[in-house]
Amino acid sequence: MRYWLMKSEPSDVSIDDLANLPDQTVAWYGVRNYQARNFMRDQMNVGDGVLFYHSNCKEPGIAGIALVSSTAYPDATQFNRTGKYFDPKATPEQPRWFNVDVQLVKKIALISIKELRNHPELERMRTLQRGNRLSITPVDPAEWKFITSRLEHD
């Protein structure tokens, strides 16, 4: 089992949006970074843990716990000629972009990026490193345990 931090802009899909979707599940569409795509395509497995992170908003931070609920499959948005995620080099026979489905486990009180930075246990967390802009990053099992165990005590 692996753990991931997956960023979503709340103006696109928020934790509340996820909670209101059928089966509380969303396709993690629109990723157009090769490293993030490779994480989904090559390393994510059904049941992996996800820290659902609100980004590019007034108060960024972890807003919920989710899990990967499907194996990777071609992202349909790459074929939509009028959509913002269209990729003219992608074909159904040779898709370039993939996504997985993510299912809500529970919404939590937001753990802000500022709060995350206050814990020495998380100082090596990839998403907290200066210059990191990836929308999907691996989370070390010790980081996952630290964050989720704190939720149990709050």
Q: Cα-Cα-Cα-Cα dihedral of 122, 123, 128, 132, to 10°?
A: -130
Distance CA 106, CA 15 (A): 9
Number of separate domains in the chain: 1
Does the residue 148 lie in any domain? Answer: no
Q: Do 68 and 101 contact (CB within 8 A), yes or no?
A: yes
In this structure, the strands spanning 73-74 and 3-8 are unpaired
Q: Which two tokens stand for residue 46?
A: 């059904």
Distance CA 33, CA 13 (A): 18
Q: Do 25 and 103 contact (CB within 8 A), yes or no?
A: yes
Nearest to 14 by CA among 59, 63, 76, 77: 63
Q: Average of pLDDT values for 59-86?
A: 97
Does the residue 147 lie in any domain? Answer: no
pLDDT at 3 over 80: yes
What's 92's domain CATH number?
Answer: 3.10.590.10
- What digits encode the pLDDT tens for the residues 45-70? 999 999 999 999 999 999 999 999 99
Nearest to 42 by CA among 138, 122, 126: 138
Instruction: Judge if pTM exceeds 0.85.
Output: yes
The angle formed by the CA atoms of residues 39, 40 and 45, to the nearest 5 degrees, is 105
Containing structural domain, residue 91: 3-139
Summary mean pLDDT of the chain: 95
Does the residue 152 lie in any domain? Answer: no
